[in-house]
Chain A
Amino acid sequence: MKRMNMLWLQSAGCGGCTMSLLCAEDPNVFDLLADAGIEVLWHPSVSVQTGDEVRRLLAAIEAGEQVLDVLCVEGSIVTGPKGTGRFHMLAGTGRSMLDWVRALAPLARDVVAVGTCAAYGGVTSAGGNPAGAVGLAYDGKLRGGALAEGFRARSGRPVINVAGCPTHPDWVTETLLLLAEDKLGEGDLDDLGRPRFYADHLVHHACPKNEFYEYKASARELSELGCMMEHLGCVGTQAHGDCNIRPWNGSGSCTRGGYPCINCTAPEFEEPRHPFTETPTIAGIPVGLPSDMPKAWFMALASLSKAATPKRIEANAHSDRIRVPPGGGRKP
């Protein structure tokens, strides 16, 4: 079996992608990586080495004494204050994480941005972006982040953006499994650098609210069963991710939990320019309809289907539980 090593660094994020990774199942994350020949050189949450042991490892990689296969970076890279990166100095090293990432990324065979912060800046760049957060290869939607525009790892591949807030554990582990077999080429990434195995799906796919969506039978308050697109800010019809095909934490997903998809795999999701749980409308028409459907067709179909909404669906859409079962319910 081929072996592949991996160094994981955390910068300006919440650590949630690691915490989600620890939720990997069948098998657990430690067995999964070890069984695939993936050696963890260091991970900030689970490795034993600390302090001087880590500094020696980083020095050996930088000096070329330790080959680095995969560099995973979790969290955005902060460039402030004043372009110095000193809003995150990697502890014990006297150097900013900005500096470390620029030094280590070119030495890695592949670079994986774990989570939307590392990919595009993410939540850390919300509001006025007080810390000057950027992704590795993107600053929001713009190419070029902490690394120079056009950056390529030793393999020739660009940064692989496993975007998500947080990432599904399988998105990360399967990216690593594919890299370990050298089976993740540039063609397997979408236009934003995301692995297509999960980014070619939409959150809408297999959403349990799809029957409500078909009739535009819409929830007006969180906890109602209806579709959340029309009023509650849900953008699952545009958001890339297999969240409803491959559930989270057993059987969950955002929409299964009764709250809207906020498109957390996309650059700049953190600033939707409206409250997250409210759909902006122009003349009563929701802004942000499914991206690849002509608007006039959508409107025509929506008004037809709304008019045809069965009573069962209309009643359940505005309820917190199924009031009217299919077929009209139990016979007395």
Chain B
Amino acid sequence: MTDRQLLVGPFNRVEGDLEIRLDIRDGQVAAAYANSPLFRGFEMMLLGKDPRDALTLTPRICGICSVSQSAAAALALGAAGGHAMAPQGALAAAILHGVENLADHVTHFNLFFMPDFARPAYAGRAWHDRAVARFTAMEGSAARVTAEARARLMHISGLLGGKWPHTLAIQPGGVTKTPDARDRVRILATLRAFRRYLEEALFDAPVEAFAALETVDQLDAWEGGDAALFFRIARDLGLEKIGQGPRRYMSFGAYPLPDGPGFSRGLWQNGATGPVDPALIVEDLSHAWMLGDTAHPTQGATVPDEDMRDPAYSWCKAPRLGGAVVEVGALARQVVDGHPLALALAAEGSVRARIAGRLLEIARTQILLEGWAAALDPEARFMDPAPTLRDGQGAGLVEAARGSLGHWLRVEKGRIAGYQIIAPTTWNFSPRDAGGTPGPVEAALVGAKVGAGEETPLSVQHIVRSFDPCMVCTVH
């Protein structure tokens, strides 16, 4: 018997608009329903267009992961034409993409996730004064120093990609800007400055030290920076016990480079990592305001149900892998990549685990980026122009900050005949499927504590934001 229902929204400090409906019983969430309330229809807009136009239009699906969209489109076009990027072009694209993912992670931690702990509801906790000083929205010292560090990091995007977001620099054949020797040392200098920010504010230690953590005990003993403040808060509030996901983690492999991806591809479940087969992906439409049948994205279509009929409750389709729900994101990527700390947190699958996975990936991405920038060869070619694409079919599978992003493209007679996109938050915030199985966040919310007077429960906010949802990507 449901005691009461709550409609939580507008749900902010996520990218885009989000509404969560909650059934509350005995002071906790008994059922949750995630609604992605915005439909724009990018997949419909692209039909009939020149395939190259996907490179201009799809980045504009999302202002926070536009390079991810751009990279997926470029790879899909390349795959459809059997064309690969010039190796150094792929390296430059990886730098552009890594910078975006790194910026997104620090934005999430400092501006989206942590401000909730500065709320008056937590006054009196031993850590609260510190949280207020650092993370009060728009005023905290961490918010301001992060905004400055992030803006300076994005100078790499300006130098190498013209601007951020919505760069057109990444193409099926490489990148449009050939960096010279001066650009290379400037990128390295910017990265070293960002390292200083991470090592002063976030970790108060070398990024290598955080990346070397292997056990949850070591994590608990971490003493430096805002990361330590979070782990202290997490212990006090029991964030290691709430928001448990499906504990089935997928990664398409991040940063495709000639020698293999920066973070590997795979599927982790039941304690072991195996291959991921994208042929097993389907999108279930049973609870989406979409018409059509369950289909693989190469066969799928996007036809909104203009009457918004029950039992659907979201514009989001429900992607499933081999019929199962999977979680994607930084934690998933680090688990699949086999990092010992991430593996130690995989079974926990909690709010704390997701944040720890993201912090770990911040440290590791900084190290990767420095290596890639050092390896830039100004003498090399950065573009191998792709021939005109008349007919073909291909997929671009990448890892955005928030997880696995796929573009599935079909070109006929020089025009886009099919374009389907599954974004990270489409996986994480999917509605129920035909079998009634809830999506990852819907399941993760069950059991969250709700105070008698709470209209927008704090536990629900922590759980939802721990996924770092991007709602504009979700439905697109």
Contacts and interface: CB of A to CB of B under 8 A. Distances in A.
B294 interface: no
Contacts of B35: 91
Interface string A255-293: 111111010100000100001111000000000000000
A113 interface: no
Nearest to A249: B158
Nearest to A257: B162
B165 A20 contact: yes
A196 interface: no
Contact of A50 (B13, B44, B174): B13
A82 B155 CA distance: 44
A262 B63 contact: no
Contacts of A89: 19, 37
Chain B, interface size category, equals 35 or more
B306 A82 contact: yes
Interface stretch (B53-61, B212-220, B246-254): B53-61
B166 interface: yes
A93 B19 CA distance: 9
B144 A91 contact: no
A22 B66 CA distance: 15
A78 B17 CA distance: 14
Given A17-B63, A54-B12, A23 B151 contact: yes
A48 B17 contact: no
Contacts of B154: 23, 249-250
Given A52-B455, A92-B10, A123-B60, 17 more contacts: A14-B60, A14-B66, A23-B150, A27-B148, A50-B13, A51-B11, A81-B308, A127-B47, A127-B49, A222-B176, A247-B158, A253-B163, A254-B163, A257-B169, A258-B176, A258-B177, A320-B382
B62 A223 contact: no
A202 B116 CA distance: 43
Bin chain A's interface residue count: 35 or more
Nearest to A45: B13
Contacts of B40: 12, 78, 87, 124, 130-131, 133
A27 to B, nearest CB: 8
A30 B383 contact: no
A18 B13 CA distance: 12
Given A30-B144, A93-B10, A128-B45, A257 B161 contact: yes
Nearest to A12: B40
A250 B37 CA distance: 35
Contacts of A258: 162, 169, 175-178
B381 A320 contact: yes
B159 A22 contact: no
A329 B463 CA distance: 62
A38 to B, nearest CB: 11
A262 B150 contact: no
A137 B322 CA distance: 47
A24 interface: yes
| Minimum-distance CB pairs A-B, first 6 | A257-B162, A16-B63, A92-B9, A91-B9, A252-B158, A249-B158
A85 to B, nearest CB: 11
Given A166-B63, A252-B161, A321-B180, A126 B13 contact: no
Contacts of B118: 48
B143 interface: yes
Contacts of A256: 158, 162, 177
A31 interface: yes
Contacts of B7: 92, 94
A109 to B, nearest CB: 22
Interface in B40-93: 40-41, 44-50, 52-53, 55-57, 60-64, 66
A16 B9 contact: no
7 contacts: A14-B61, A22-B107, A30-B139, A30-B144, A44-B10, A81-B306, A249-B151
A106 interface: no
A223 B177 contact: yes
Contact of B37 (A31, A91, A254): A91
A24 B49 CA distance: 35
A99 B432 CA distance: 29
Interface string B145-185: 00110111011011111111111110100111110100000
A165 B41 contact: no
Contacts of B45: 126-130
Given A29-B147, A320-B381, A320-B383, A23 B164 contact: yes
Interface string B453-476: 001100001000000000010000
Contacts of B382: 223, 320
B38 A87 contact: yes
B138 interface: yes
Given A22-B107, A249-B155, A31 B144 contact: yes
A240 B393 CA distance: 38
A257 B40 CA distance: 29
B9 A51 contact: yes
Given A45-B112, A48-B115, A92-B9, A25 B151 contact: yes
A81 B315 CA distance: 13
B385 interface: yes
B257 interface: no
B399 interface: no
B335 interface: no
B232 interface: no
B148 A28 contact: yes
A46 B138 CA distance: 7
A250 B155 contact: yes
A223 B57 contact: no
B74 to A, nearest CB: 12
B366 to A, nearest CB: 19
Interface in A44-91: 44-55, 78, 80-82, 86-91
B53 A16 contact: no
A40 interface: yes
B119 interface: yes
Contacts of A81: 304, 306-308
Contacts of B37: 88-91
B122 to A, nearest CB: 12
A321 B151 CA distance: 28
A27 B171 CA distance: 34
A221 interface: yes
A51 B15 CA distance: 15
Interface string A129-171: 1110100000000000000000000000000000001100000
A126 B169 contact: no
B241 to A, nearest CB: 23
B308 A90 contact: no
B11 A91 contact: yes
Contacts of A103: none
A28 B38 contact: no
A15 interface: yes
B472 A130 contact: no
Contacts of A128: 44-45
A34 B168 CA distance: 34
A93 B18 CA distance: 11
Contacts of A52: 455-456
